Structure 1
Amino acid sequence: MSHVGAGPRALTRSVTFLTAGALAVLTLAGCTSEEPEGKPLAGPDIATAARARVADGGTLRWAVDTVPETLNAFQSDADATTHRVAQAVLPSLFRVDAAGRPVRDPAYLESAEVVRTEPKQVVLYKLGQQAVWSDGREIGAADFAAQWRALSGKDAAYWTARNAGYDRIEKIERGKNDLEVKVTFSRPYADWKSLFTPLYPKDVMGTPDAFNDRARRKLKVTAGPFAVERADREDGEIVLGRNPRWWGEPAKLTQIVLRAVPRAERIAALTAGTLDLAEIDPDTAEEVGLAGAPPGAASGNPLASPAAPSSGGPAAGPEGRSAADALRSWAVANGSDEEAAHDETLARAEQREALARTQRRRTALRGFEVRKSLEPAYTQLALNGADGPLADERVRRAVARAVDRDKLAEAVLKPLGLPAEPLGSHLALAGQDAYADGSGALGRPDTKEARALLVDAGWVPGGPVRERQERKDEQKEDGEEAAGAEGEGDEESQDTDDGTYIVGEDDKGEDDKGEDDRGEDDKGEGERQGGERHEAQGGAPGAYAPKGTAAPEGTPAPEGTPAPAGAAAAPLAKDGKALTLRFVLPSGPGSGTLRAVADRITAMLKRIGVRTDLTTVSDESYFRDHIASGQYDLALYSWPASAFPATDARPIYAKPVPAADGSLNVEQNYTRVGTDQVDQLFEQAAGTLDEKEARTLIRKADSRIWAAAGSLPLYQRPQLMAARKNLANAGAFGFGTPVFEDMGFLAKGARGPDGGGKRAGSPAP
């Protein structure tokens, strides 16, 4: 499951998400740079091919997560597929380029510019002469005005999800002719390029009934290279066909079928040949890469593995068996013990059939390849500052400084062959104009400083932990049988009914390298489903520890002795209560990466004496019942990036305010951490027409968000797409808006992508 929002607008950012003190303010002076830092970490991987090399015709079968409830992108239940359809069938006045910047779409706009700033901002749009709706009517001022009235927030009859930007418009007028639209703003708006994308016809926006109901299942009037032929939730498909009135380069494909296929079922659909393009998880990517690997190759590609050994004599057994095992099996099957030989013969037959199935599957997957980039989205660690220990900014900062983001990014992205760089901003991604690394406002990972912050907040070793240990020592001295039954070295750290906290072997020191580099076998039992509590486990007694792991200490250090670097610190307590944080995660398919990241974060927090209570819940209830309702301390989820952070990021970091009914209005700030300073900086950035000043204000806002430690950006999300090898101009799009009219299958005789075959992970220009 991908906990990431559907589209570029703020209130459609529903997901596969706070008050800085004097210390935060003092650290802001030198923590932002004046210029954007670097280029996008990875460019698009879409097998670019010139249109002349793409065949005319064909159907692209593209896996999506859902057939959406609505085709109206401005309604609250719009999702990723809603926005994908809108990109293909509706005008986008400004598209997003490969560097995440808005660029004019010449198919619709000849020009768009601010022509006046005083006394009020005026933007003049000059539309393309051929731009028409599918019913033959010219795109014009009437469509702009209808969308403004629907989204301005002034008419409650429109069930809109957002009005940001539209609420600043004062009037819309026809210009010198029908191809000109003049928009006057009541107050300056820096992100004016975010408006009218997508642009719906006045048939949809003109009345509340049309907006609320008619556009949910059908879009009769469109203006893109494709049009909606059918949207069927029962069949799980949306069919897009060529728009005969499209005035631009004609679409190469005859149809695009967006087919709802659950993530867990996509490998089977690819094998069955019912899909041509699908976003996949790392395990599926590895299998696709393995199928395409040359026989016997030991590729350096992390998505490919050596091919299976060939069958034959006793030295070459089924996949996964060593030559010695194969020889032993052959000997038993041909030995004198008839019963053992019979059993072994049956087992060998089952293994041969399993191998044959695997080889058939790999043969079916050989027509696919993995195209990979980085999504325009990032994964973050959210710290709920509404109540509990994390309501104290010092505790949030301690937790944040205990997390090594470099190691987390490396663990997730390096095995995929993608740039393993941690994200330095909440509000932009590397390569975007507003990007600058603002993490200096928080500081580098430092367990010593993190422990000092916790001590300053009143969390110290001992308390109920020490009392429990003293009772255990007394029981041992008295020779009580119960104490011996408890066992030593394998007891989980846990809360007891009397409020004490039991210290087990898991609380003893470990070497830093050993903790971070643990393999899958060293991570413990895994999650208990159904919302049950569990802790990330350490090595069981007698198990082999990773090479380099320090031997456990025999006795606890004297009180007040600082824990060595990399060692698990003694559990902390305050006012008779141990410091334990509820860490909530989703349990559905595709959540394995989040759980692995959570395990690593749990290990990092142990080094400063913070324990976690890991709980997995269903995907359906993850956001509704936990994130949005604030029933968590720590959580992992993602936000999409935006080319307009002053508008789109503001609801995510706005300071929560009391609502009229007494509840707290958090908008999309699910961490409940916000400051007046951040709100003011967003407002100033949205209201200035000086682009350089706007970038400076956004970077200052980001620094204050870092200092408040309500959320910790970890890494840009990987984007892995399985695509037919002959599919051109489609795949892992990265930042860029897809060019639907150029997608298609290579003509007979055309081979490989243009540009010398430059592929995934290549730096963008």
Structure 2
Amino acid sequence: MSHHGVGPRPGRSAVMRSVTFLAAGALAVPLLAGCGSDDEGSKPLAGQDVAAAARDAVAEGGTLKWAVDAVPETLNTFQADADAGTTRVAQAVLPSMFTVDATGRAVRDADYLESAKVIETEPRQVVLYKLDQQAVWSDGREIGAADFAAQWRALSGKDSAYWTARNAGYDRIAKIERGANDLEVRVTFERPYTDWKSLFSPLYPKEVMGTPDAFNDGARRKLALSAGPFKVDKVDTAKKDVVLTRNPRWWGRPAKLDEIDLHAVDRDKRATALAAGTVDVADIDASEAQRITTAGRDQGSGGAPLQGAGKTSAKKLRSLALTLGMDGKHLPKGPKKLRKSISKWLDEQQELRDVQVRKSLEPAYTQLALNGSEGPLADERVRRAVARALDRQTLAKLVLTPLGLPAVPVGSHVALSGQAAYADGSGTLGGPDTHEAQALLADAGWVAGGPVKAVDKAAGAQTGNGDKAGKGDKDDESGDGGSDGQYIVGEDDKSPESPDGKDTRDHQKDHAHGAPGAYAPKGTAAPQGPQAAAAPLAKDGQALSLRFVLPSGPGSQTLQEVAERIRQMLTAVGIQSEITKVSDESYFKDHIASGQYDLALYSWPSSAFPATDARPIYAKPVPAADGSLNVEQNYTRVGTDQVDQLFDQALGTLDEDEADGLLRKADSRIWAAAGSLPLYQRPQIVGARKDLVNVGAFGFQTPVYQDMGFLKKGAKPSQSPAAK
């Protein structure tokens, strides 16, 4: 999951999106239409940074060593424990009828499809796929209707023997038939489906999808068949590797690389791995990016700072280490060990000169989640007061300005800048306004100076500002001091369970595609530091205090800084909050998914298909047959019938412009309910060897694996937008 968010598991080309809201309030909500100019959000805020190069400048052969978080538990993207590594493999070895372009839109993959279009709408929607005549599986069999039909049956939700994590869209299909010839596939829908382009991406062979046993177990550690530029050679859990090699039956542009090795490397060890050459490319955090940038500027000799330091005291050596940028929390004690550690660091800095930082914005955003199921935040007025207390522009600047990335607050729950459905709907809720926030709180009965009953500290009650470890969780302060967090919902939560052990996601609707603001009124200066605290508020003898839950492991430092700034903003209107740090392992499962929090920070990935993928995030929770609450992916427990209806209407129209308009209306109503407050788009920071091209910070776009490789001698990459 990603502290800088928590996020859905990647499926198609990125990850799925999700979050929900409960609206219904005593406050009047203006007519909620998408707002903004025609040009607003017309392009991504940041371009790709991949060291783009023409294929004739890329050398033939070589092995690309790519750091991933872990060896995938499964190679089947439709299973609950699929992760980012699963998606990476699927993109390289399996067909996708549609991929995602640089603007976050679905585009036909010409390697597999000659065309795909809706050919009938009455009495039913019919889509005709015309496949490339060269498209074959690695055993020579043509890709065809049998593969489409097998995947539909497995994912339709009609056979519970298939352990599927998602089936959105497949449950709307009535039948799949061969067309006029073997290269045509006719898909007939029972109900209109606007996001039909999301289906069959990736497409697995019928050998994987044909039986429950094959689906459940057959593709977890191997894929015998492929139909991409690469194939799975082996999954080596001992060496923490997934090895992909060239597919000899590939008919498209041949892969430049001989091999891609996906190698599991801990986040806090990636700069060291890049320096040692054990990986060529890795997602990194801000502190490691700074280290690489510093190494590139440093022209001195590696051991110069230690010259004449043979008898230097431990105190002075420690000061030198901190000056060099080393992590003070993990420095050894004693001069001998310190000198050795510093020497190793300097040697690594020398090697990091061959590495560069590539950065963009992820197709994912970080949000403040407000749990509306109980407590003060069950009152919409209090949630809206929290929203009006926040200056999201300041929070975006806190994270993105130091990285040289556009610090623009995210204005939509359903799309990001550059996507067709994007419009800034935050005006529905209003910008930062301390007086309005206090008026909302007063209207809800929270007033200053009221009596406060004694509370039992031993019972875990929170009564004011503070910062403590969660009960039963180790307070791990090992953050590396620079990352924006490593939690994205779906990527890291795997299969969150409710307290009773049941999966809180609706497996019939959870669909992942395989990754990410209110402005101050004119004349209002954005707060630059800690704000003055207002008098604490109370109601019925209880203080207004919210439990702010955060992860505490490596990579959480930036998220904690954001939380502290939010806490200061809330204190300024009289809302007290106590930051509780919990272990990474506990954060999502025991707190977010189970609803054991008031405030939390996590991320949702964006999707090219928001009508499908955003719906379970904002769906109104409903009681299940066993009495539990089915929240799907709506971990704020806030939702309305009207939002559900707008999503359903958007899903059922085949007019893309109409669907985008309905999604904007849904977004405005989600803003009004104030269950989730988008803050900023996540930074995407990658360390890569300087001679590695067509790899890096991809932004929205699906990677093109066959074009990746190393520069020929004397060749130069094109200058990417983010590198200018």
**TM-score, normalised on structure 1?**
0.80
AA aligned to 2:275 is T
Question: Of 180, 184, 190, which residue of structure 1 is paired with 2:184?
Answer: 180
Q: Is the 8 A contact 2:17 2:607 kept in 1?
A: no
Map of 1:429 onto structure 2: 416
Map of 1:124 onto structure 2: 128
Does the C-alpha gap of structure 1 residues 122 and 495 become closer, same or farther in structure 2, counting only changes over 3 Å? same
Map of 2:25 onto structure 1: 21
- The whole-number CA distance in structure 1 between the counterparts of 2:459 and 2:98 is 61
- The whole-number CA distance in structure 2 between the counterparts of 1:682 and 1:351 is 59
Q: 1:283-682 counterparts in 2 under 5 A?
A: 283-295=287-299, 355-464=342-451, 531=473, 566-682=531-647
Q: Is the 8 A contact 1:530 1:616 kept in 2?
A: no
Map of 1:52 onto structure 2: 56
Deviates more, 1:25-34 or 1:416-425: 25-34
AA aligned to 2:108 is R
- The whole-number CA distance in structure 2 between the counterparts of 1:41 and 1:495 is 49
CA offset digits 1:7-47 (Å, max 9, x no partner): 156997499x8223364532525746566523100111000
The alpha-carbon deviation at position 177 of structure 1 amounts to 0.7
AA aligned to 1:419 is P
Does the C-alpha gap of structure 1 residues 24 and 216 become closer, same or farther in structure 2, counting only changes over 3 Å? farther
- Match of 1:760, SS state, is helix
- The whole-number CA distance in structure 2 between the counterparts of 1:384 and 1:12 is 23
Does the C-alpha gap of structure 1 residues 733 and 9 become closer, same or farther in structure 2, counting only changes over 3 Å? closer
- The whole-number CA distance in structure 1 between the counterparts of 2:576 and 2:302 is 43
Q: Is the 8 A contact 2:57 2:715 kept in 1?
A: yes
- Match of 1:359, SS state, is helix
- The whole-number CA distance in structure 2 between the counterparts of 1:745 and 1:311 is 35
Q: Is the 8 A contact 2:12 2:77 kept in 1?
A: no
* 2:676 corresponds to 1:729: no
- The whole-number CA distance in structure 1 between the counterparts of 2:407 and 2:24 is 30
CA offset digits 1:344-374 (Å, max 9, x no partner): xx99988765553332111111110110000
- Match of 2:239, SS state, is coil
Q: Is the 8 A contact 1:463 1:574 kept in 2?
A: yes
The alpha-carbon deviation at position 321 of structure 1 amounts to 8.0
Question: Of 652, 671, 677, which residue of structure 2 is paired with 1:687?
Answer: 652
Does the C-alpha gap of structure 1 residues 641 and 25 become closer, same or farther in structure 2, counting only changes over 3 Å? same
- The whole-number CA distance in structure 2 between the counterparts of 1:26 and 1:603 is 30
- The whole-number CA distance in structure 1 between the counterparts of 2:468 and 2:208 is 49
- The whole-number CA distance in structure 1 between the counterparts of 2:562 and 2:303 is 31
Map of 2:157 onto structure 1: 153
* 2:172 corresponds to 1:197: no
Does the C-alpha gap of structure 1 residues 528 and 622 become closer, same or farther in structure 2, counting only changes over 3 Å? closer
The alpha-carbon deviation at position 76 of structure 1 amounts to 0.9
The alpha-carbon deviation at position 758 of structure 1 amounts to 3.3
- The whole-number CA distance in structure 1 between the counterparts of 2:398 and 2:302 is 25
Q: 1:683-762 counterparts in 2 under 5 A?
A: 683-751=648-716, 753-754=717-718, 757-760=719-722
Map of 1:333 onto structure 2: none
- The whole-number CA distance in structure 2 between the counterparts of 1:116 and 1:398 is 49
- Number of corresponding residues: 651
- The whole-number CA distance in structure 2 between the counterparts of 1:33 and 1:19 is 27
- The whole-number CA distance in structure 2 between the counterparts of 1:102 and 1:637 is 26
- The whole-number CA distance in structure 2 between the counterparts of 1:205 and 1:232 is 24
* 2:10 corresponds to 1:7: yes
Q: Is the 8 A contact 1:8 1:640 kept in 2?
A: no
CA offset digits 1:705-758 (Å, max 9, x no partner): 00000000011000110100000100111101000000001112223x21xx23
Map of 1:93 onto structure 2: 97
- The whole-number CA distance in structure 1 between the counterparts of 2:595 and 2:388 is 23
The alpha-carbon deviation at position 119 of structure 1 amounts to 1.4
Does the C-alpha gap of structure 1 residues 9 and 574 become closer, same or farther in structure 2, counting only changes over 3 Å? farther
> In angstroms, what is the RMSD of aligned CA positions?
3.0
- The whole-number CA distance in structure 2 between the counterparts of 1:666 and 1:725 is 46
Does the C-alpha gap of structure 1 residues 90 and 497 become closer, same or farther in structure 2, counting only changes over 3 Å? closer
CA offset digits 1:563-593 (Å, max 9, x no partner): xx95210111011110110111111111111
Does the C-alpha gap of structure 1 residues 36 and 168 become closer, same or farther in structure 2, counting only changes over 3 Å? farther
- The whole-number CA distance in structure 1 between the counterparts of 2:353 and 2:467 is 35
Does the C-alpha gap of structure 1 residues 12 and 661 become closer, same or farther in structure 2, counting only changes over 3 Å? farther
Q: Is the 8 A contact 1:384 1:671 kept in 2?
A: yes
Map of 1:281 onto structure 2: 285
- The whole-number CA distance in structure 2 between the counterparts of 1:715 and 1:602 is 17
- The whole-number CA distance in structure 1 between the counterparts of 2:159 and 2:627 is 25
* 2:227 corresponds to 1:265: no
- The whole-number CA distance in structure 2 between the counterparts of 1:741 and 1:402 is 49
CA offset digits 1:147-169 (Å, max 9, x no partner): 11111111111111111101111
AA aligned to 1:732 is A
Q: Is the 8 A contact 2:27 2:381 kept in 1?
A: no
Q: Is the 8 A contact 1:63 1:278 kept in 2?
A: yes
Does the C-alpha gap of structure 1 residues 526 and 265 become closer, same or farther in structure 2, counting only changes over 3 Å? farther
The alpha-carbon deviation at position 234 of structure 1 amounts to 2.9
Q: Is the 8 A contact 1:656 1:664 kept in 2?
A: yes
The alpha-carbon deviation at position 619 of structure 1 amounts to 0.9
Does the C-alpha gap of structure 1 residues 8 and 446 become closer, same or farther in structure 2, counting only changes over 3 Å? farther
Q: Is the 8 A contact 2:283 2:687 kept in 1?
A: yes
- Match of 1:652, SS state, is helix
- The whole-number CA distance in structure 1 between the counterparts of 2:462 and 2:81 is 44
- The whole-number CA distance in structure 2 between the counterparts of 1:453 and 1:308 is 61
- The whole-number CA distance in structure 2 between the counterparts of 1:121 and 1:320 is 74
- Match of 2:546, SS state, is strand
CA offset digits 1:590-631 (Å, max 9, x no partner): 111111110000000000111112111111111111100000
Q: Is the 8 A contact 1:293 1:307 kept in 2?
A: no
AA aligned to 1:727 is L
- The whole-number CA distance in structure 1 between the counterparts of 2:696 and 2:11 is 19
The alpha-carbon deviation at position 308 of structure 1 amounts to 10
AA aligned to 1:4 is G
- The whole-number CA distance in structure 2 between the counterparts of 1:450 and 1:567 is 15
- The whole-number CA distance in structure 1 between the counterparts of 2:534 and 2:293 is 42
Map of 2:252 onto structure 1: 248
Does the C-alpha gap of structure 1 residues 601 and 175 become closer, same or farther in structure 2, counting only changes over 3 Å? same
Does the C-alpha gap of structure 1 residues 179 and 76 become closer, same or farther in structure 2, counting only changes over 3 Å? same
- The whole-number CA distance in structure 2 between the counterparts of 1:130 and 1:318 is 70
- The whole-number CA distance in structure 1 between the counterparts of 2:285 and 2:462 is 38
Q: Is the 8 A contact 1:58 1:744 kept in 2?
A: yes
Q: Percent identity?
A: 67
* Unaligned residue ranges in structure 2 (runs of 5+): 321-332, 477-529
Larger Rg: 1
- The whole-number CA distance in structure 2 between the counterparts of 1:586 and 1:131 is 46
- The whole-number CA distance in structure 1 between the counterparts of 2:245 and 2:340 is 43
The alpha-carbon deviation at position 103 of structure 1 amounts to 0.5
Q: Is the 8 A contact 1:418 1:761 kept in 2?
A: no
- The whole-number CA distance in structure 1 between the counterparts of 2:95 and 2:313 is 55
CA offset digits 1:137-185 (Å, max 9, x no partner): 0001111111111111111111111111011111111111111111111
